[in-house]
Structure 1
Amino acid sequence: MPVSVYLRTPFTDLTGPTVNCQFMTICSKMEMKAINCVEAYGEDRAQTKCKALLEDLYECVTKTKQMARVLEMKMEREKQISQGVRGYAEGPAHDSFQAPTTL
């Protein structure tokens, strides 16, 4: 979550905007909405007024909930395989992949 800068120097002014999602990423529009909201309300009030936008941006960048869902699906799949409810999927045929060519 964005927090206000406690120690402001020319170095922090120079390096502050280098970490963002504006370079053609999935989260760039979401970050722009969050930045506009923070600019409208200020950094202190934005923690309450823009909480939903900031949480969505944090999830978009870190993907913690998505990784938790994937882990849960993997655990459920392994549990079903160990109980015998389902089996492992068949692998592809040996000649189905083309070997990478080298120059």
Structure 2
Amino acid sequence: MPYPSPQQPQFGYPPQPVVYQARFRKHTGMLILAQWTDASVVGSIHEVRAAYRGAQSHCLLAGWWGVFSMLFYNPMALVGNWSEMRRITHLAKANGEVS
């Protein structure tokens, strides 16, 4: 008797969707101060990508308003978000969701 493939439900249950957990940072630069907001998301790869795009858009639009924000904080937020999305993409590739 052959083993069931991963796409076939076993014992009458449908296959469970893969859920990912990620945390992205939204940085808002001000002339003197800076504000960080964490955006946590738990969901499918599509939901994580949407949260990533939202966080990166926020950083690119509102993160450059200040000297320290422009030189240090916002680039750190952008690279940190990119790194987190790269980690999730590697997990999704390992699960066969992304090619």
Q: Shared fold by TM > 0.5?
A: no
Say which structure, 1 or 2, has more relative contact order (CA 8 Å, 6+ apart). Answer: 2
Higher strand share: 2
Q: TM-score, normalised by structure 2?
A: 0.28
Q: How high is the TM-score relative to the length of structure 1? A: 0.27
